[in-house]
Amino acid sequence: MFSTTKSSDKTIKLDFSEGYSSVIIPSKNNKFTLCISSQIGCPIGCKFCRSGNQKFIRNLTTKEIIEQVRISNDLLKKENKDHSITSVVFMGMGEPMLNINNVLNSINIINKEFHIPFRRITLSTIGIDLDKLLSAKFNIAISLHSPNEEIRQEITNSLTSINNILDFCKEFSKNRKNQNGVMIEYALIKDINDSDEDLNPLLNLDWPSNTNFNLIEFNDYKEFQASDKSKLNYFKKKIINAGFKCFIRESRGKDIDAACGMLNVNL
């Protein structure tokens, strides 16, 4: 059982009665990204994320993960028979690496049965068990959020060191010579990680040249507030000037609580 809500920006949120959600994000040229959940709640508990501030219930089964894709495809096809999900991101509720067997099974099924190429499937992690992802054919995104070890640990609870993340990025990029390397995700939070004192050390880290950066437009939560848009543009310009690909992930579905970090356990 599930219910749907549509945002003014055409983003669609699916709330499943078991407590998890998926989000369909339309973009230009009839492309549709599906953001899916791998757990109900999230045990990581990043301080700035609603999913992480709620009780963790359980891992999703492979079937439950796959059903998010099938149901979303059916919904889109009802509106227009030529529409379907064109890319899948594991960026919804939960930390995929804590449910890795079901997530890997799901990725293979999404690729084979829904004909979504691995290059259009992305697993986003806070940085757990990265070694297991070294030979992944799909994309890897790592939530960094700060180049400062103390700040990162404080806001994300992650125990993975930034050096471990860098080592992984280097190894991973060796297997992907002419492709994108790891995507580094960075949500800009006012007065926490959005100054030159954050940006300069970020750029001074020894990233492989095919690393790409994804700056996330943050959604206010508790004491954490979004940085000004000008800061996002400033970070983007500096990162591109340093020779890396960088894009800003604009907030979508904010009016229906479907944007990044806004998913609730719906029970």
* 44 versus 246: smaller Cβ distance to ligand SF4: 44
Residues of this chain that interact with ligand SF4 (CB under 6 A) are 42, 44-46, 49, 51-52, 93-95, 126, 261
* 66 versus 126: smaller Cβ distance to ligand SF4: 126
Q: How far apart are the first and last CA of the chain?
A: 12
* 42 versus 89: smaller Cβ distance to ligand SF4: 42
Q: What six digits make up the tokens of 228?
A: 């000004």
d(CA 33, CA 121): 9
Phi, psi (degrees; rounded to nearest 5) at 85: -65, 130
The nearest distance, CB 156 to ligand SF4, in angstroms, is: 6
Angle at alpha carbon of residue 211, lines to 121 and 122, rounded to 5° = 10
The nearest distance, CB 190 to ligand SF4, in angstroms, is: 17
- Measured from each CB, the residue nearest to ligand SF4 is 52
With beta carbons less than 8 A apart as the criterion, state whether 222 and 194 touch.
Answer: no
The nearest distance, CB 260 to ligand SF4, in angstroms, is: 8
The nearest distance, CB 102 to ligand SF4, in angstroms, is: 16
Q: Which distant-in-sequence residues (6+ apart) come within 8 Å of 172 by Cβ?
A: 133, 134, 136, 140, 181, 182
The nearest distance, CB 176 to ligand SF4, in angstroms, is: 24
The SS3 assignment for 67 reads helix
* 7 versus 21: smaller Cβ distance to ligand SF4: 21
d(CA 17, CA 34): 18
The nearest distance, CB 262 to ligand SF4, in angstroms, is: 10
* 24 versus 216: smaller Cβ distance to ligand SF4: 216
d(CA 97, CA 132): 9
With beta carbons less than 8 A apart as the criterion, state whether 61 and 106 touch.
Answer: no
* 14 versus 46: smaller Cβ distance to ligand SF4: 46
The nearest distance, CB 125 to ligand SF4, in angstroms, is: 8
* 46 versus 69: smaller Cβ distance to ligand SF4: 46
d(CA 86, CA 97): 23
Phi, psi (degrees; rounded to nearest 5) at 244: -110, 155
d(CA 40, CA 118): 25
Beta bridge partners of 35: 23, 89
* 75 versus 104: smaller Cβ distance to ligand SF4: 104
The nearest distance, CB 39 to ligand SF4, in angstroms, is: 8
